[in-house]
Structure 1
Amino acid sequence: MKRDAIFYKIFQRFPSLLFTLLDHPPDQVRGYRFESIEVKEPNFRIDGVFLPPENASPKVIYFAEFQFQPDELLYHRFFAEALLYLYRNPYLYDDWRGIVIYPSRSLEPANTTIHRSLLDSPQVQRFYLDELGALDQKNAGVSLMQLTIAPEAQLAEQAKQLIQQVKQEDTGILAKKEIIDVITTIAVYKFANLSREEVEAMLDITLKETRIAQELKEEGREEGRAEMLAVTVPVLLKAGMTVEQIAKQLKVEVEAVRRAAQDDEMSGRDR
């Protein structure tokens, strides 16, 4: 299971989930949007950004990173992108916060000295999911994030426990149905080798196809199609087929074939 992909999908649908981690969330939590934003000159995209509602006062933007693999340059990139975006948009926001979520402390970069003034300030918070305590000791939002790192041997029991907790307790800014929707999505992807019926029996619930699951599956299909086109299109072009003929033969859009041909041409130049 690609945990970081699931995190992004979860926060796209439930942006208020992030603020269950914070001791001092913004006043207008419900109006925040989780977006990818582009910064020009140089061009790059920041994926994890929580944008405040238009009527927020003050307007606080949150930059979030979900780091599930080693990256010694993480903080260099994270702070450079955030501060450059603020430089390019100096009048949009009154303040900013940085949030970095790790499954465990072992994935944090070894050398943090150069960024110590930011990392040690209240403006930046780091969370280690395996250090947040047992599921029944935290709110439902935190427990939900912890579920993504649960070992398969424990996930079913923890998921069932969390579902019962959600049904019985006040979940605050998160709707009960939304939380259960995410729990089932995590379980389905964690146990991808099991049938839907087996997962239903394991969690003692009836599963429905969740929106997040549908989106992730669609992304998987798109990635698979792109890989297929990257291999097939150059071969068929060399064989003398036109872009239109290839699109008809492979039953894809002409534009998709053109993109694959352009990507192959660019990679050839790089070589």
Structure 2
Amino acid sequence: MAFRIDGVFLPNTPELPIYFAEVQFQPDKKIYSRLFAEIFNYLDKTELTNTWRGVVIFPNRSVDSGDTERYAELLNSQRVTRVYLNELSSIPTSSIGIETVKLIIEPESTATAKAIEIVNSARKEILNAAQQREIIQLIETILIYKLPRLSREEMGKMFGLSELKQTKFYQEVFAEGKEEGKEEGKLEGKLEGKLEGKLEGKLETIPQLWALGLSIEQIAQALGLDEQVVRQAVQPKS
């Protein structure tokens, strides 16, 4: 019966609230009962006395199908904000952060071009090297989940080889290739090997994608696995 919060953002002053973030990309009738159980359990265990806010992120309103009757007062208050990614385009002025989050629901046909646009904006607007690298790594992660067959050329076009070498994905691929002694001199072979993956590696990835809120169907499609295999992998171990 473990509870796991997707994100907890802690303030550096007592006047600011603690933010709890939940990302939900599949319908779940118990989303709100689970969310508030997680939040109040956290508040009970922490010594912080700050007030709190909750943010729930959905791809669209149709996924927001949780039972709300018992939690109407909380959901209708300023305590909780529900965000629908497909509606963020109505915001007149946007930020790199919002554009990066919107990349999650960007159509596959335009996702690569949009990612390049965001990366170029990040290079121009974010002067802090560490923050810039974090944004690029987040974009890289989104694209790998969204477009598992992304080629080395496309990755290089977006990030550049020097920046690509700094990403977690590249470092994992390099380490894996070095340990296995395969194609140590070529990034292309390592990337393709990582993307195609072995069944064991794919099975290890399933819980991570499930934790991000992807459905069984989405995970199966992204990893090229049978839905029954994915379903078994996410079932709690007895």
TM-score when normalising by structure 2:
0.63
Partners of 1:66 and 1:131 in 2: how far apart? Answer: 16
Alignment correspondent of 1:50: 8
| 8 Å CA contact retained: 2:5, 2:38 | no
Change (3 A) 1:80 1:213: farther
Any idea what the Cα deviations from partners look like across 1:66-122, whole Å, max 9, x if unmatched? 001110110111112212332344x42221111101111110025423211111111
Partner SS, residue 45 of structure 1:
coil
**SS in structure 2 at match of 1:100:** strand
Match for residue 21 of structure 2 among 36, 45, 64: 64
Which residue identity is paired with 2:119? I
Q: Secondary structure at the match of 1:177?
A: helix
The CA distance in 1 between the partners of 2:205 and 2:26, in whole Å, is 24
Give distance in 1, aligned partners of 2:97 and 2:165.
21
The 1:147–1:44 alpha-carbon spacing in structure 2 relative to 1, beyond 3 Å, is: same
User: Which residue of the partner structure matches residue 151 of structure 2?
Assistant: 195
Distance 1:175 1:198, change over 3 A: closer
Question: RMSD over aligned Cα, in angstroms?
Answer: 3.6
Match of 1:34 in 2: none
CA contact (8 A) 1:187 1:199 kept: no
Structure 1 residues 100 and 108 mapped into 2: Cα distance closer, same or farther (>3 Å)? same
Correspondence list, 1:163-174, <5 A: 163-169=119-125
Number of paired residues? Answer: 183
The 8 Å contact of residues 139 and 171 in structure 1, kept in 2 or not, is answered as no
Indicate if the aligned counterparts of 2:165 and 2:171 stay in contact, CA closer than 8 A.
no
Q: Please, which runs of 5 or more residues in structure 2 have no aligned partner? A: 174-193, 207-236
- 1:213 and 1:69 map into 2 onto residues whose CA distance is 30
More strand by share: 1
In 1, Cα distance between the equivalents of 2:152 and 2:55? 35
Match of 1:8 in 2: none
Deviation at 1:214, TM superposition (A): 5.7
Q: Is 1:138 aligned with 2:90?
A: no
Gaps of 5+ in 1: 1-42, 228-265
Quick one: which amino acid aligns to residue 154 of structure 1? T
Q: Cα–Cα, structure 1 residues 221 and 153, in superposed 2: closer, same or farther, change >3 Å?
A: same
User: Which protein has the larger Cα radius of gyration, Structure 1 or Structure 2?
Assistant: 1
- Please name the residue that 1:29 is paired with: none
Amino acid at match of 1:98: G
Pairing 1:80–2:37 present: yes
- Measure how far apart 1:128 and its partner are: 0.7
Aligned to 1:102: 58
What is the CA–CA distance in structure 2 between the aligned matches of 1:225 and 1:147, rounded to whole Å?
Answer: 24
Report the residue type matching 2:50 in the other structure.
Answer: D
Query: Could you state the TM-score of these two structures normalised by the residue count of structure 1?
Result: 0.56
Task: State the structure with bigger RCO (CA 8 A, min sep 6), 1 or 2.
Answer: 2
3-state SS of 2:4 partner: strand
